[in-house]
Homo-oligomer: A and B are copies of this chain.
Amino acid sequence: MQDLDILIKDGIVLTLDQSNSVIEKGCVGIKGDSIAYIGNEYIPAKEVIDAENGIIMPGLINSHTHIPMSLFRGLAEDISLKEWLEDYIFPIEKRLTPEFVYTGSLLSLAEMIMTGTTTFCDMYIFEDEVAKAAYKAGVRCLLSEALYDFPSPNYGSIDKGFKYTQWLINKWKDNPLIKIGIAPHTLYTCSEPVLKKAKDMAQENNVPILIHVAETQDEVNEIKTKYGKSPVEYMNSLGMLYSHVIAFHCIYVDKKDIQILYKYNVKVVHDPECNMKLASGVSPVPEMIDMGICVALGTDGSASNNNLDMLTEMDTAAKLHKVNKMDPTVMDAITVLKMATINGARALGIDNIVGSIEVGKKADLIVLDTNCPHMVPIYNPFSNIVYSAIGDDVIHSIINGKVVMKQRQLLTLELNSIIEEAEKWAFRIKKWLS
């Protein structure tokens, strides 16, 4: 074998491949942007990263975010969803600027890299700013501009919103890390023509649709009243269900809905912490997984979570469903870890290149430090990751073959200046609300 660019040595390698292979005292070799070697040998490499008996695993995939909202973290807490949206989020979002979105994105990108996320799936406004920030950070992503009937601070009317989305698709189409999708916001904020146009545009461009579905009982009631159908049935009636559709939340889906989602191979993203914090409800995730639906994991925005830590999100996902079903055997550690890795890749349509450690796949990898008391001992590394680890245990992060964090030092972003800028925005927001 030709020399490698990077060799990560001496870790427990969790491949998350089809047989969930684990390699003790393992090494992973990288050449260019790809994984070139997995095994126990010390292959010569330009750069050697010592995992120091830690865990080497695929980078985490956060399949539902609104990353610029990190600037709203903790702004309004422990209040009803209506009050949260109407008294805080919407009034501020009306005043949003590209600069706000760029700063909030950088803050979240720093957090995601430092907590092991190497790919995220975002929906917001001024999404080109998210793309620019992700480009700077070197983080893989699927991005989308939120489309809805009411005026947007970015594009104004919806026609311009579609044009903006097409412009985004064209602008980023050759970038290896950044992909663009089409995001009709919800079934109740988009009229039928907007939903249909979104679908047509997605199919013409061969890109995914991203949409919030059945997140609250109010939404279900509204759709049932208007169309006499459940949200899932309504989407079906519009021809909006197929394998390239990413449905966020899916809390209020019944048996029939679940069968429909399965039939059309729709991808579902579960966001337990946000659903709990906003008291939206508990999604029937074990039922959807049993049916064979691909369920991925997300944090949602950090205004309603309030962080982007996928390691603690996995823990909560596993525990929430155990107590909800009164069955400690549901949502075992490997199932949940797959939701945060390979299922995320499948949901985003990139499982051919990321989501597991396999030769030929892109090198999106993280190393977890296990020389800390809460990660000792290791009887079963899957359990340690899901139930014991926290975001700060991630010590190195590599995306597309490039080291973006080493020894917890960010290499593509300057943290202090990002924090300074974020604090300036928080100061302005407090003034807006006072």
Contacts and interface: CB of A to CB of B under 8 A. Distances in A.
Nearest to A392: B392
A422 B372 CA distance: 12
B388 A73 contact: yes
A371 B326 CA distance: 40
Give the copy number.
2
B379 A276 contact: no
A249 interface: no
Given A312-B315, A333-B77, A373-B111, A326 B277 contact: no
Contact of A377 (B376, B383, B425): B425
B371 A78 contact: no
A360 interface: no
Interface in A67-84: 70-71, 73-75, 77-81, 84
Contact of A79 (B306, B329, B419, B430): B329
B388 A279 contact: no
Interface in A278-320: 278-282, 302, 305-309, 312, 315-316, 318-320
A406 to B, nearest CB: 17
A397 interface: no
A107 interface: yes
A279 B332 contact: no
Contact of A281 (B275, B326, B423): B326
Contacts of A212: none
A374 B108 CA distance: 8
A308 B108 CA distance: 27
A166 to B, nearest CB: 32
A376 B107 contact: yes
Interface residues of A, number: 74
A226 to B, nearest CB: 24
Given A307-B388, A374-B115, A374-B308, A77 B383 contact: yes
B387 A374 contact: no
B390 A74 contact: no
A328 B322 CA distance: 21
Interface string A326-362: 1111011100000000000000000000000000000
Nearest to A274: B319
A206 interface: no
A1 interface: no
Interface of A: 70-71, 73-75, 77-81, 84, 107-108, 110-111, 114-115, 273, 275-282, 302, 305-309, 312, 315-316, 318-320, 322-323, 325-329, 331-333, 371-374, 376-380, 383-384, 387-388, 390-393, 415-416, 418-419, 422-423, 425-426, 430
